A and B are shown apart, each in its own frame.
Chain A
C-alpha cells in the first residue's frame, strides 16, 4: 500500500450477521440485474432507478456502436437515426453478438420496407455468402448462391461475392 492517508470518507455499511450478503445468492442477483438492463426485467430491490436506467441506455448506445462496426453500410444508410433505430429495436432484447444483432435488425427493416439502399446491399451480400437461420451462428455457404434484399441482388461463387444489382435509390 503506498500513500498514507487512511482518513478517506468511504461509504461503509455494516455487514449482515455471519458475513452473508443480505439476499445472498450472487448468481441469482446478477441474473436479475442483467435481465433488468437488457431483457426488460423489473428493477431488482434496493437499486436506485435513475442510475440503472442511465446504464440501460448507455448499454444500448454501446451496442449500437459495436453493431455499426460489424454492419458499417447498414449504419451509414440509416445515418443520424442509427442510435435511435438500433435502440428501438434492441431495447429488451439481449444481444446475440453484434453480427447477429445487425443481421436481425436488417431483416426486420427489410420486412418493414425501411431498409436503406446501402443496408440492402450489405444484407444481400452477407446472405449470398453466409447461411443464417436467425437462431444459430451464421455459417459460410459452400455452394453458389444468389440473395436479394430491398431490390439489391448479390451473387456468391466459390466464396467471392458480387453485387449484381444495386438497390434502387
Chain B
C-alpha cells in the first residue's frame, strides 16, 4: 500500500459517515487500540480500504517512553493491526502512559535526559523488531517540564530518531501548544528538526483554559496552528497532513472547512 499522501482525517466511528463521503480522501488514521486484528474491521474502515484509502494505525497506549520494557502483547497487537489494514507504516508517541503499574490515562512527557533517550530508544528498537512496517514517532504536547532536562527539544528528538531510524510524525498543534505553555520559538524548532524524516503531519484544534493552551482535539484549529503549517511547508512540504478531531464534532460543513483550510495552507489538493 502507498504511504500517506495529501490531506487526511483521523477516522472515528462517530464521523465514519462524513469520512466515507469525502471524494478526494487518500489516507486516514485509526486508533490502533480500537481495532481487533483478528476480527472483522469496522464497516467504515473496510469500505475505505476497499477504495484503496491508506489506513495508518496510530497507537496511544504502548508507552514507548516508559522506563520498563514495552509490553510484548501490545507490540504484537500493533503489528497485527498493521497487517490487517495492509498499512504502509504505524505511528506512536514519544511519551509514557503508565508507571509502577498505574495508568496515567493519557500521554505524559519524558525528561529530556540521556537516561530517557536510552529508554525510548530501547523500547522503539524492541517494537521495530516485531513490526512488519516502519514506525513513525510523534512528539507530544505537554503542560509541564521535568526539572532536569539535559537536552533541548530538537536535540532530544533528533537523538531518538537518529538512534532508531524511525520516521517523524510531527504534530504542529503540539509544537504550538508547547511553545505557548513551555516557552520557545515554534519556527526556530521547525528549523532544527529533521523535516526530511516526516512521514506525515498532525493538525488539531485546541483552546485556552485556566491560563494554558490545551490541545483538546475538540475545538477548531486556531489560526496560529495554520500559520505553523505554512511555516513548515515553506521549509519542506510534508507528503501528508492529517486533521485530528476527537469529540464535540461540528456540523459537516465546518469540518469540511477545516480540511479545506489544511489543503490551502499546505498546497495539497482539496479532498472535500
Contacts and interface: CB of A to CB of B under 8 A. Distances in A.
A59 B105 contact: yes
B155 interface: yes
Given A21-B148, A54-B210, A63-B105, A5 B188 contact: yes
Interface in A13-50: 13, 15-16, 19-31, 33-35, 37-39, 45-48
A2 B144 CA distance: 28
Max chain A C-beta neighbours (<10 A), residue from B143, B145, B196, B218: B143
Contacts of B154: 8, 10
Given A21-B111, A21-B115, A37-B108, A9 B195 contact: no
A20 B111 CA distance: 12
Interface stretch (B51-59, B70-78, B94-102, B259-267): B94-102
Interface residues of A, number: 52
A1 B247 contact: no
Contacts of A38: 102-105
A141 to B, nearest CB: 21
Interface string B122-151: 000000000000000000001111111111
A95 B194 contact: no
A129 to B, nearest CB: 19
A55 B142 CA distance: 8
B15 interface: no
A3 B158 CA distance: 13
A2 B148 contact: no
Contacts of B158: 1
A11 B178 CA distance: 13
Nearest to B246: A65
A9 B179 CA distance: 12
A23 B116 CA distance: 13
Contact of A3 (B98, B148, B184, B192): B192
B214 interface: yes
Contacts of A65: 218, 246-247
Contacts of B67: 25-27, 30
Contacts of A13: 148-150
Contacts of A2: 194-196, 235-236
Interface string A85-101: 00000000011110000
Given A13-B149, A27-B99, A27-B100, 4 more contacts: A1-B158, A19-B114, A21-B116, A94-B103
Interface of B: 66-68, 96, 98-100, 102-106, 108, 111, 113-116, 119, 142-155, 158, 181, 183-185, 188-196, 209-212, 214, 218, 235-236, 246-247
Interface of A: 1-6, 8-13, 15-16, 19-31, 33-35, 37-39, 45-48, 51-52, 54-55, 57-59, 62-63, 65-66, 94-97
28 contacts: A1-B192, A1-B196, A6-B192, A8-B191, A11-B152, A15-B150, A16-B148, A21-B111, A21-B114, A23-B148, A25-B67, A26-B119, A30-B67, A30-B99, A31-B100, A34-B99, A34-B102, A38-B104, A51-B143, A51-B212, A54-B143, A54-B210, A54-B211, A55-B143, A59-B104, A63-B105, A94-B103, A95-B105
**8 nearest A-B residue pairs (beta carbon):** A46-B147, A10-B152, A31-B100, A27-B67, A51-B144, A30-B99, A3-B191, A5-B191
